[in-house]
Every structure is written in C-alpha cells, then in structure tokens.
C-alpha cells in the first residue's frame, strides 16, 4: 500500500526560542518544493542524497534581485531519495535558525510551493504504510518521546531495539507448543498409545499454561508500576507529632508550604507537592503526626497518614533526638520499613551485621543488595542540637557507630524499651541524662535501617540528609523491573484479554476442543501486538498522541 501522493511539511522541533529548528518535508514533490524556495536550485538538484549542503531560503514574492533583501535564512539541508528515507519517500530535512519567526516563514514558503501541513505522527504513519517500520517500532518511538522517567525510557528503548518483538515471539512459540499437543490429542484420540498418555499430556500442558499465565500477570504488574512511577514516586514524610516533619517538607521544597509550630498536631491532613529530586518526578506528602489523641479530626488525619505510608515508594520517618521513642513508635517504624519477624530475631541475636558498619555509605553508594522495602525507608533523627550528647562539630564519619549510653552515677546501661543490650559496646557520657540520639541510632543499626542525624532548622548535616534522600529516590527507579512487552495502554488491553483466554484454556485443558479454541483466540490477540490491525480507529488512536513533525 502506497502513502498519499501529496507532500507534507512540519516543524519537528519544539516551537520557541532556540539555536536551531528542524523542518521535515516528505512526499513525491519534496525535492521540487524545496528547490522552489532556495536560491541555489541547480546546486540542490545535483547534490547526491544523504549529503548536507548550505542553501539560502528566499522570498520569491519580493521583486528584488538583491539576495540580502529576499533572503529568509541561510539553512543546511539533507536530501533523501525514496526508498532510502525514514518515510520511504523522497524527503528533505532542513536545519534553520531557531526562534518563532524564521521557522514559520520557511514553512509558509514551503506551503506556498504546494506542501500541505502534516498531521500528528504523519511522518511515522507513512513510514509504517511504506513498510519502513512496524507498529511496535512506531509505538516505541512515541514512548521514547513521552518518557517521564528513566525506567519508562528503558522500557521504550528495549522495545525500539527489538527486545519486545523477541519476547512476543517467545510467548507465541510457547502457546503454539501447548496448542500442538492439544490438537494432537484431538487428532489421534483413538490411538491407544496416545490415549494412554492423554492424562500425562494434560497435566504437563496445565503446568505450562499456569507458568505462562503467571508470567503474563507479572508482566501486567510491571506495567502498572511503570505507569504509577510515570505519575511520580510517592515520598511520604511520617513520624510522631512535633518531630519536624513539616520543617523537612518545607526544607525539601525550598519554601514554606506547611505550617510549622511548636504545638503538636499542627498538621492534620495530607499536604502534597510535586517536585523533581535528582531528575526524578516526586509527589511529596507531609502527614499528620502519629500519636494517641482524643481529637476526632486529628485521628482522621492520622488514619490518612497510615494510608499514605502504605502507598509510599519512599518513607522518610522523622523522629526527635530530644525525646524518647513513644510507646508504639518502634513497632510503627519496623512495620513501615517492612522488617520481618525473622529480621527481628536476627537483630536480637546480634548476628545481622557488625557494629562498626556505616549504613549510610552502603546506601548512598548504591550497595543495596539486601534492602528490599527497608532500602526505601529512611529514619531522620532530627533536633540533634537539643540532645545532651550532641556537641557542635561532633558529626563525623563515625557518627553511625552502634553504641549504648552509660549513666555515670549508677554505672548501668541506660536503654529504653525499644533497645536490646546484647553484644553492644559502651561509652561514658559527661552527663547523667539519657541520650535519646544514641538510643535511636543504635535502634536503627540493630535493624539495618538507613538513618541520618540532623537538625533541620539549624541545617546541621544537611548535605548528607539530601544525599541520602536523593540516593533512596534514585534506587526506586533503578530497581524497578521493566516490562518485556507492555509499554502502553493498547498493549495492556491485549495482554489482559490474552490472560483471560489462557485462563479459560487452563480450566478446560482436558476438554480439548474448548482449550484449543481459547488458545487460538489468544494467538490471534498476540498477533495484534505486531501490527495485524484491521481498524483505522486503532491506528488513529496510536498516532493521535504523536507530536506533529514525527
């Protein structure tokens, strides 16, 4: 099938101020149309394809032989001969000065010469119609352009370079193998040897189909996660009341968004803002402080906090070095961080990690081999300037050592109800008061929790605080497994329908005719991935999201 005969033109770069702009021209008349708007017509006609040349676009409507008066712009251009172009047609790519006026003037001259304005994705649509690229390549191009995260980009890039097609072909062969077994049972049902193995084959095919269904359901989950991350990583700031959550929220944003007050319970609802952290889109949530309260409105806010923690990709738990852990805070931290009962048992035995390891360095440098959800959880020990143990300038590389506090008057180890005292070393403090800072550091070390000591209002340890948050956010994107097949909603719809067909086949695997019909339907759906699309409405839906000029 041939593309429409008319020649189209469009700006392929974003309009507005910039050093350069690119204009594309494709169709049977593209060479003649471009020659009609330049002074060096003969030079362009003799120029071999795929070689860049310098030309002057002129205004033929100005009756003046002076080039300086008639010139619109000096441009470079590349000529392509069909079928050796992106669209498979004769084509010209024009590189002019940027801005708003010059590209618009050149397009106007091209339209006067007979070119038509291109529609959305029309260049790629012509490439598809002319057999230069397949529908999966077309969609991957769109996803490359629309990518909002590195993970989305990675998925689109794999599709662009053919990995998606390979995964579809592998899936196709797996389904065909099961279908062939089932059809052989239908064909040779009267054969004694086949009849004897009927039950064995049915069991084997049921196992194969169950594996395929599980794989596709995992693919759907990966697609869901990519979509969610495109909308922004959810970072929730949680913790007890009056620990400094709103101060951290404002500090990350760089301006006062949440109300900060000494009175506990100031924040009673979720406050959110969208921002970029190290190039990653983030939805940042400030939440109500978790505490026991008789205020019904505040309790509602606390319920919303717990819901926000459950949905978060990253949790920043703010606790105060000026106060002991409140009654249920330890359990709240361990639950939110995903610490299992086995982790707790290992921590109590003191076998989980040595006591002189700098956890911050492990995470900030990307060594997160045993993180899981714990790797997405950061305890921020705030208000360290209000702790008796803290001295100005005392923060250093050893600030994450695991230590207990010794009361000099009683010579007994001081701990709170969250701290285990087995296998720990001690230091002597110059004050008889308990150091909540040290207790909380030790708690984090014991349960392998990332933590940072800081005073948000005094901006102590601010660089490490932001480095840790940035590294944690980046790790979410880095660790997300990309889908092998699904890169958009069309793919998701096909995959969901195919999973339904395969489930029907699985449930009827011993009723061969029904199972075979379900598998053939699944294969027909699979064919839709690679471009066996009969409806113009589907194609229009694919291309309407393209930008003009692509």
Nearest by Cα to 446 from 416, 476, 411: 416
10-residue mean pLDDT series, the chain (550 residues): 72 91 95 94 94 91 63 95 94 95 95 93 91 89 84 88 91 90 71 59 85 93 82 85 84 69 52 80 79 57 71 87 79 80 69 39 37 73 78 47 33 37 37 68 86 88 90 80 85 93 90 90 88 54 61
The pLDDT value recorded for residue 437 is: 85
Going through 220-332 in order, the beta strands assigned E by DSSP cover 233-238, 271-277, 280-286, 314-320
Residues 409 and 466 in one domain: yes
Residues 359 and 473 in one domain: yes
- DSSP character for 2? P
Q: Is residue 540 part of a domain?
A: no
Q: Are 485 and 168 in contact (CB under 8 A)?
A: yes
The reported pTM is 0.64
Distance between CA atoms of residues 314 and 432, nearest Å: 37
Residues 461 and 356 in one domain: yes
Residues 6 or more apart in contact with residue 174 via CB below 8 angstroms:
208, 212
- Could you tell me the residue range of the domain that residue 258 belongs to? 233-478
Residues 312 and 442 in one domain: yes
Residues 121 and 246 in one domain: no
Q: At 420, give phi and psi (nearest 5°).
A: -90, 145
- DSSP character for 460? B
Residues 47 and 174 in one domain: no
Q: Which residues pair with 272 in a beta bridge?
A: 285
Kindly state the greatest CA–CA separation across the chain.
Answer: 103
Going through 12-80 in order, the beta strands assigned E by DSSP cover 16-26, 52-58, 71-80
Distance between CA atoms of residues 122 and 245, nearest Å: 50
Residues 246 and 202 in one domain: no
Residues 252 and 395 in one domain: yes
User: Is the peptide bond prior to 83 cis by the omega test (within 30 degrees of 0)?
Assistant: yes
Residues 254 and 354 in one domain: yes
The pLDDT value recorded for residue 239 is: 84
Angle of CA points 83, 86, 91, to nearest 5°: 70
Per DSSP bridges, beta strands 71-80 and 52-58 are antiparallel
Q: Are 377 and 338 in contact (CB under 8 A)?
A: yes
Q: Is residue 309 part of a domain?
A: yes
The pLDDT value recorded for residue 204 is: 84
Residues 6 or more apart in contact with residue 284 via CB below 8 angstroms:
235, 237, 249, 252, 253, 272, 273, 274, 275
Q: At 31, give phi and psi (nearest 5°).
A: -65, -45
Instruction: List the helix and strand counts (H, then E) for the chain.
Output: 19, 15
Residues 82 and 105 in one domain: yes
Per DSSP bridges, beta strands 16-26 and 91-99 are antiparallel
Residues 116 and 198 in one domain: no
The pLDDT value recorded for residue 372 is: 47
């Amino acid at each position: 099938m041939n593309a429409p005969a008319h020649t189209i033109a469009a700006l392929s770069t974003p309009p507005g101020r910039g050093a350069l702009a690119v204009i594309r021209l494709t169709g049977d008349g593209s060479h003649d149309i471009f020659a009609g708007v330049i002074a060096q017509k003969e030079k362009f006609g003799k120029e071999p394809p795929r070689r860049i040349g310098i030309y002057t676009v002129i205004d033929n409507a100005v009756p003046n032989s002076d080039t300086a008066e008639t010139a619109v712009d000096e441009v470079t251009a590349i000529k392509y001969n069909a079928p050796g172009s992106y669209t498979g047609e004769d084509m010209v790519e024009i590189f002019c000065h940027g801005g708003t006026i010059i590209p618009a003037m050149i397009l106007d001259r091209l339209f006067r010469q007979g070119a038509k304005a291109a529609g959305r994705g029309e260049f790629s649509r012509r490439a598809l119609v002319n057999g230069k690229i397949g529908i999966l390549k077309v969609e991957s191009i769109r996803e490359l352009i629309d990518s909002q995260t590195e993970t989305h980009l990675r998925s689109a890039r794999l599709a662009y370079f053919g990995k998606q097609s390979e995964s579809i072909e592998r899936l196709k062969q797996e389904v065909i193998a099961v279908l062939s077994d089932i059809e052989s049972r239908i064909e040779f049902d009267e054969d004694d040897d086949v009849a004897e193995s009927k039950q064995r084959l049915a069991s084997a095919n049921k196992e194969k189909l169950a594996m395929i269904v599980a794989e596709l359901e995992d693919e759907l989950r990966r697609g869901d996660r990519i979509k969610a991350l495109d909308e922004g990583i959810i970072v929730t700031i949680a913790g007890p009341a009056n620990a400094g959550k709103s101060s951290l929220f404002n500090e990350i944003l760089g301006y006062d968004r949440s109300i900060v007050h000494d009175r506990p319970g100031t924040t009673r609802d979720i406050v959110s803002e969208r921002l970029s952290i190290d190039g990653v889109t983030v939805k940042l949530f400030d939440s109500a402080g978790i505490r026991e309260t008789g205020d019904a409105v505040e309790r509602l806010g606390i319920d919303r906090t717990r819901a926000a923690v459950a949905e978060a990709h990253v949790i920043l738990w703010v606790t105060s070095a000026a106060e002991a852990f409140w009654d249920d805070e330890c359990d709240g931290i361990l639950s939110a961080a995903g610490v299992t009962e086995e982790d707790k048992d290992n921590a109590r035995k003191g076998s989980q990690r040595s006591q002189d390891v700098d956890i911050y360095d492990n995470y900030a440098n990307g060594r997160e081999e045993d993180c899981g959800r714990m790797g997405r959880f950061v305890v921020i020990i705030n208000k360290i300037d209000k702790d008796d143990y803290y001295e100005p300038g005392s923060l250093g590389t050893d600030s994450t050592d695991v230590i207990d506090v010794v009361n000099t008057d009683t010579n007994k180890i001081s701990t709170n109800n969250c701290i285990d005292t087995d296998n720990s070393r001690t230091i002597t403090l110059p004050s008889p008061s308990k150091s909540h800072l040290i207790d909380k550091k030790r708690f984090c070390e014991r349960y392998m929790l990332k933590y940072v000591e800081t005073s948000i209002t005094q901006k102590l340890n601010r660089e490490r605080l932001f480095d840790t948050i940035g590294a944690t956010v980046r790790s979410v994107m880095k660790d997300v497994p990309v889908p092998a097949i699904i890169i958009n909603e069309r793919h998701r719809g096909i995959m969901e329908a195919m999973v339904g067909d395969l489930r029907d086949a699985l449930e009827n695997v011993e009723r061969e005719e029904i199972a075979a019909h379900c598998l053939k339907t699944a294969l027909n759906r699979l064919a839709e991935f690679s471009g066996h699309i009969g409806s113009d409405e589907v194609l229009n839906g694919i291309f309407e999201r393209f930008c003009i000029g692509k």
